[in-house]
A = this chain, B = another copy of it.
Amino acid sequence: MTGNSQLNSEGKLKHFLTIEGLGKELLVEILDLAESFVGMTDQRIKKIPLLRGKSIVNLFFENSTRTRTTFELAAKRLSADVLSMSIATSSTSKGESLLDTIRNLEAMYVDMFVVRHGISGAAHFIAQHVSPHISVINAGDGQHAHPTQAMLDMFTIRQCKHDFAPLRVAVVGDILHSRVARSNIQALNTLGVAEVRVIAPKTLLPVQVETMGVTVLHNLTDGLKDIDVIIMLRLQKERMTSALLPSESEYFKCFGLTEERLKIAKPDAIVMHPGPINRGVEIDSKVADGPQSLILKQVSNGIAIRMAIMAMAMQKQGSV
Task: State the A residues within 8 Å of B (CB).
Answer: 41, 43-47, 52-55, 63, 65-66, 69-70, 72-73, 76-77, 81, 83, 85, 89-91, 93-97, 100-101, 103-110, 237, 275-279, 296-297, 299-300, 302-303, 319-320
Contact = CB atoms under 8 A, between A and B. Distances in A.
A104 B275 contact: yes
Contacts of A76: 55, 81
17 contacts: A44-B320, A45-B52, A45-B53, A47-B53, A55-B73, A63-B89, A65-B90, A69-B83, A70-B108, A73-B81, A94-B276, A95-B278, A97-B279, A100-B277, A104-B275, A107-B300, A108-B302
A220 to B, nearest CB: 23
Given A55-B73, A95-B278, A109 B297 contact: no
A276 B108 contact: no
A45 B79 CA distance: 11
A117 to B, nearest CB: 16
Nearest to A104: B299
B72 A107 contact: no
Contacts of A63: 89-90, 93
A91 B109 contact: no
Given A46-B54, A109-B303, 20 more contacts: A41-B109, A45-B53, A47-B53, A63-B93, A65-B85, A69-B85, A69-B105, A70-B108, A73-B81, A91-B276, A95-B276, A95-B278, A96-B277, A97-B279, A104-B275, A104-B276, A107-B296, A107-B297, A108-B300, A109-B300
Q: Which of A69, A237, A297 has the most CB of B within 10 A?
A: A69
A76 B297 CA distance: 28
Contact of A72 (B83, B94, B302): B83
A70 B108 CA distance: 7
Q: Which 5 A-B pairs have the closest CB atoms?
A: A45-B53, A107-B299, A65-B90, A65-B91, A96-B276
Given A46-B109, A100-B276, A104-B275, A66 B91 contact: yes
Nearest to A299: B107
Contacts of A303: 108-109
Contacts of A105: 69
Nearest to A109: B41
B41 A46 contact: no
A145 to B, nearest CB: 20
Q: Which of A95, A97, A106, A319 has the most CB of B within 10 A?
A: A95
A301 B141 CA distance: 32
Given A107-B297, A108-B299, A47 B52 contact: yes
A276 B52 CA distance: 30
Contacts of A43: 53
A33 to B, nearest CB: 18
Contact of A55 (B46, B95, B275, B278): B46
A19 B109 CA distance: 27
A57 to B, nearest CB: 8
A103 B296 contact: yes
